[in-house]
Chains A and B, each alone.
Chain A
Amino acid sequence: MEFFLISLLNGVTYGLLLFMLSSGLTLIFSMMGVLNFAHASFYMLGAYFAYQISTYLGFGAALLVAPLVVGALGAVVERYGLRKAHRFGHVAELLFTFGLAFLVEEIVHLVWGKSSVDYKIPEYFDGTLFTLFSTSFPIYKGFMMLVSVGMLVALYLLLTRTRIGLIIQAALSKPDMVQALGHDVPKIFMLVFGGGTALAGLAGVIGGNAFITEPGMAAAVGSIVFVVVVVGGMGSLAGAFVASLLIGCIQTFSVGITFSVTDLAALFGVRLEDSSAVARLTVTQLAPVLPYLLMVAILIFRPRGLMGARES
């Protein structure tokens, strides 16, 4: 029970962080029609910027400024890079985002070096929020949850309750018609791209110190976010939300389970005598593979994802 509740809390915290990344990626996908492979690079930049800003001005300033800087950078990339690549078709756009991901990684190497930087949780967030039976839940995780839920509510209200949100929704499905009604769709797309990357940056700010800020973090998180978007259904925000929580929980639960192949066989009344590596494989060891297994299964049995509308 204790294991279950704590894992659930951790899973939800991690899942909400994934949604902060996948929501932006999903919006940008609906708009461009291709996946932005550099999306997690903006997450990494968020973490590094936050590290840099916090060494001078503290974490509070980093929390506010870093996402804005990342978002502005994203808007510039859309305006002067992607928009130009767009004219040459989807393949050009895809290659552009690939190149951008490598570029960002190299820049991070140059500026901050190849090993991790010391981006730490601020002291005032050290400590325990509450203790469940014998396991403690840190204050910082609670803070991450608060920021994520705040962002979720703000995004929802923006998209459904404001005029600009309506225009964004309409422009995602029928850009030509929205344009013909007198709305500057290219500018709206730039804002969506900037907003999506700002969310990725925010995720980097609160995730970079909870986990680790190093040049490989974009690639590590990028592939998980990719899984989230495919499992949820390309272009579906609700799907991305469900898939984020699902994968967040799968990852945290599986890490704590020491159930092995031998145990599984025993359940079916088979006694595995040999002690080969395969027989001793536990769920914990399989944890990193599970999201990808889920993705493959989804692609086989439900190619449009949990909630995706598109058949492709």
Chain B
Amino acid sequence: MSEPMLVIRDLHGYYGKSHVLHGVNLEIGQGEIVSLLGRNGVGRSTTAKAVMGMVAARGSIRFKGQELLGRKPHDIARLGVGYVPENRDIFPDLTVKQNLMLGMKSARQKGRWSMDDMYALFPRLKERENTPGGVLSGGEQQMLTLCRTLMGDPDLIMIDEPTEGLAPKIVELVGSFLKEVEKRGISILLVEQKLAIALDISERLYVMGHGHIVFEGTPADLKDNEAVRKEWLEV
């Protein structure tokens, strides 16, 4: 069997002198949806940022057989890693269409996704094509940032808490969107707080506590393991 899409081994991450990740191990296969769960502040976002080359880290992160540590974020993106940050980070003064255009890595790029695909998935974005991103609702902004990253044609997409602060109906929409993305062979790392959506769409899950992985398994495994949920997830 060939190497999985993403292999993280013994990853340590730092913000200046503070040591946040203590040896994270994690794998994501081709076309797999994997969730990374855990309480506030355990280091889930930091893990995603480390893959993106945005925090100081040591250990190993291999993506499609290539080492990512030491590379610049734009380089990592160009290798095929997409990142949707937790604060969504849309460009508020640019229009919806311009935001999507910025997702493309070059003007001529022909990827799996076109602007029309995005509008077909989320007709609401088409309606608001010429509206500045800043005036969209939270749900619309989340769709925009997901689509913007897809426009870059990634093979792996890391999504940090996409459902935070969204109404249940929108959460459902995000879930079916992720399923749609997976169907095209794209791997997904979903950083989540909400157990329900993670159990619903993931093939495998990791639970994180204090900077390392404390559980790994299928949704069924996690449902059966009350001890892990009690100790590491429920508040």
Name A's B-contacting residues (CB within 8 A).
163, 166-167, 169-170, 173-174, 176-186
A186 to B102, CA, bound (A): 16
| Chain B nearest CB, measured from A146 CB (Å) | 31
A176 to B55, CA, bound (A): 11
The A/B interface has a contact count, at CB < 8 Å, of 55
- Specify the chain A residue showing the minimal Cβ separation from B80: A182
Give chain B residues whose Cβ lies under 8 Å from the Cβ of A174.
89, 91
A179 to B152, CA, bound (A): 12
| Chain B nearest CB, measured from A288 CB (Å) | 38
B78 contact from A166, A173, A178, A182, Cβ within 8 A: A182
Q: Is B184 an interface residue (CB 8 A)?
A: no
A176 touches B73 (CB 8 A): yes
A186 to B74, CA, bound (A): 10
A/B interface sample: 17 pairs, CB < 8 A: A163-B107, A166-B98, A166-B102, A170-B91, A174-B91, A179-B72, A180-B52, A180-B74, A180-B83, A181-B74, A181-B103, A181-B148, A182-B74, A182-B152, A184-B74, A185-B74, A186-B72
| Chain A nearest CB, measured from B179 CB (Å) | 24
Could you tell me which residues of chain B, from 89 to 112, have a CB within 8 Å of some CB in chain A?
89, 91, 93-94, 98, 101-103, 105, 107
A181 to B146, CA, bound (A): 12
A182 to B73, CA, bound (A): 7
Give chain B residues whose Cβ lies under 8 Å from the Cβ of A183.
74, 102, 105
Give chain B residues whose Cβ lies under 8 Å from the Cβ of A176.
54, 73, 89
Give chain B residues whose Cβ lies under 8 Å from the Cβ of A181.
74, 77, 102-103, 105, 148-149, 152
Q: A181-B152, A183-B102, A184-B74 are in contact. List 5 more A-B contacts (CB 8 A).
A: A181-B74, A181-B105, A181-B148, A182-B105, A185-B74
A180 touches B73 (CB 8 A): yes
Could you tell me which residues of chain B, from 105 to 140, have a CB within 8 Å of some CB in chain A?
105, 107
Q: Is B4 an interface residue (CB 8 A)?
A: no
Give chain B residues whose Cβ lies under 8 Å from the Cβ of A186.
72
